[in-house]
Amino acid sequence: MKIKQRPRWFISENDATPETVYHNRRKLLKQLGIAAATVPVASMAQGSLFNLFGDDEPAVDRRAALSPTKQQGDLPLTPEDKILSYNNFYEFGTDKTDPAERAQSFQYNPWQLTVGGLVNTPVTLDYDDLLKRFPLEERIYRLRCVEAWSMNIPWIGFPLASLIKMANPTSKARYVAFETLYDPEQMPGQVSRRLGGGIDYPYVEGLRLDEAMNPLTLLSVGLYGKTLAPQNGAPIRLVVPWKYGFKSIKSIVKITLTDTMPPTTWNLLAPQEYGFYANVNPYVDHPRWSQASERFIGEGSLFSSRRQLTLMFNGYEPEVAAMYKEMDLKRWY
Ligand SMILES: Nc1nc2c(c(=O)[nH]1)N[C@H]1C(S)=C(S)[C@@H](COP(=O)(O)O)O[C@H]1N2
Ligand SMILES: [Mo]
């Protein structure tokens, strides 16, 4: 299925950052017959396909090809090498280059993701389920870090709402808590407080139930047509495009429906700087820097990147503003 009309979450931009690698791969996938819309996921033996893509591919990965069901147009994209090499994943160190360097041998198969708490039907999914259970979609989302940089990435995944519905929440459920894998043998930042940025692991995050059920909220299993690389949160991570990047928790093992607001890692670490909501808001500055604008990471050197104004709710205001209409967003930052 091809979407001709731009969905509302589509943000138009003027600067062109054509990602030729991506579109070439698209063509190739099509020629190989993998992009068939009727097949939710082409499950490939790892490593079988991307060798065919030639020199354009980064040397890094064991990622397998995914075949999303929807494809969206022409938002300027952040090149694939940037989303693979400029990351925040403190379990592997606090420098932007640490995750790509230290996470390459991260083992995420086998994997188990559980959904429990205030649900009628607890769910456990293993690695293959994560890739095959739900029809996958591709969505180009802007991800904006609280550190005031942003990227536009073609994510592949499925709405978190589909998984929550499968677990059949009880009427008492009000919030959704998320937890990243705790595995100090694999994650050096969980051993050394210095390396791990002083965080008490496991990394935890949370959403209100209505935020979790919002159709924009994606559980992602891939990007740029392939399964996630370890540094991006393999095998499954959240993408909540109207919130600061830290809400998009990586390498999730546990989802719990609760009746109370769950603790969140950055709020625990520095409550005066990071609230539970963390909605992107150019009018509420971080106590130590402005949130009015951001560096868009596109083609070229990271530090020559263009500054652009930050949009309310990261540009997703029409879809999400109604959820907060009674709230003082300066207080509930
Ligand atoms: N488990 C875990 N998830 C995490 C983080 C982290 O340190 N640990 N960093 C967050 C932050 S601050 C950002 S900006 C995004 C970055 O995602 P990316 O590296 O795929 O762009 O991941 C978020 N998810
Ligand atoms: Mo971030």
Are 76 and 13 in contact by the 8 Å Cβ rule? The answer is yes
In this structure, the residue with its CA closest to atom 4 of ligand 1 is 249
Could you tell me the distance, in angstroms and rounded to a whole number, from the CA of residue 317 to the centre of ligand 2? 20
Report the pLDDT value the prediction gives residue 45, as an integer from 0 to 100.
28
Burial class (CB within 10 angstroms; exposed 0-12, middle 13-18, buried 19+) of 279: buried
Q: Please tell me whether residue 189 adopts helix, strand or coil conformation.
A: helix
- Structural domain includes residue 185: yes
In CATH, what number is assigned to the domain containing residue 39? 3.90.420.10
pLDDT in tens, 226-279: 999 999 999 999 999 999 999 999 999 999 999 999 999 999 999 999 999 999
In this structure, the residue with its CA closest to atom 15 of ligand 1 is 245
Residue 316 has pLDDT above 70, yes or no: yes
- Structural domain includes residue 287: yes
Residue 236 neighbours by CB distance under 10 Å: 26
Token pair for 329: 């967003």
What is the span of the domain harbouring residue 198? 22-324
> CA neighbours within 13 Å on the CB side: how many for 88?
18
Which atom of ligand 1 approaches the CA of 151 most closely?
21
Nearest ligand (C-alpha, residue 97): 1
Pocket probe mutation, ligand 1, options 155, 243, 246, max atoms within 8 Å of Cβ: 246
- Structural domain includes residue 180: yes
Q: Please tell me whether residue 21 adopts helix, strand or coil conformation.
A: helix
Could you tell me the distance, in angstroms and rounded to a whole number, from the CA of residue 243 to the centre of ligand 2? 10
Q: For the stretch 93-127, what's the b/e string if a residue is b when 16 or more beta carbons lie within 10 angstroms of its beta carbon?
A: bbebebbbebbeebebeebebbbebbbeeebebeb
Which residues are CB-neighbours of 260 under 8 A, at least 6 positions away?
174, 175
Residues lining ligand 1, judged by CB closer than 6 Å? 83, 87-91, 143, 145, 180, 203, 232, 245-246, 248-251
Are 178 and 238 in contact by the 8 Å Cβ rule? The answer is yes
Are 36 and 66 in contact by the 8 Å Cβ rule? The answer is no
- Structural domain includes residue 227: yes
Which atom of ligand 1 approaches the CA of 244 most closely?
14
Number of structural domains the chain divides into: 1
In this structure, the residue with its CA closest to atom 23 of ligand 1 is 246
- Structural domain includes residue 107: yes
pTM of the model: 0.85
- Structural domain includes residue 285: yes
Q: Please tell me whether residue 24 adopts helix, strand or coil conformation.
A: helix
pLDDT in tens, 177-225: 999 999 999 999 999 999 999 999 999 999 999 999 999 999 999 999 9
- Structural domain includes residue 1: no
- Structural domain includes residue 3: no
Could you tell me the distance, in angstroms and rounded to a whole number, from the CA of residue 2 to the centre of ligand 1? 30
Are 314 and 242 in contact by the 8 Å Cβ rule? The answer is yes
